[in-house]
Amino acid sequence: MKLRTKLLDLAKAVADAADRDPELASRLSEIFGAVPAVPKRPEPVPGRAKNRRPAAVLDPVVVVGEGEDALRSQLSALSLDQLRDVVAEYGMDQGKLVMKWKDPVRIIDRIVEIAVARAQKGHAFRSE
């Protein structure tokens, strides 16, 4: 048996004995002193990868159906990060430039431009 395996078995045996015997547990606490607790990682939100942005608060293509001004007014109420969430959620940054912009008005213009184009896509084939 390897030394590593023996040491792991010994540590498990001591931990099990400390769980059963409070006197042994207190003695081990005195020996080791105050051991800082290791902070646990936050639990990931199920369904979204940890490197993904939060979900967008609105769907610009649906809102542009109410009118371009309605979309602009709803977008102007959002923070810069929320605007970037909309851009990321709906794939509005093919050139990987919009996420670097710091001017909210510029980002809003881009979102409106793409949302209008997507809302009108296939319009020629629809019967009125």
The encoded tokens of residue 63 equal 């809102």
> For position 104, what pLDDT does the model report?
95
Q: Which of 57, 58, 64 is nearest to 115 (CA)?
A: 64
The model's pTM is 0.59
3-state percent helix, strand, coil for the chain, nearest multiple of 5: 60, 0, 40
Residue ranges of the chain with pLDDT lower than 70? 34-48, 50, 128
Q: In what helix (H) or strand (E) does residue 44 lie, and over which residues does it extend? A: none
Residue 6 burial (CB count, 10 A): 10
Distance CA 52, CA 73 (A): 26
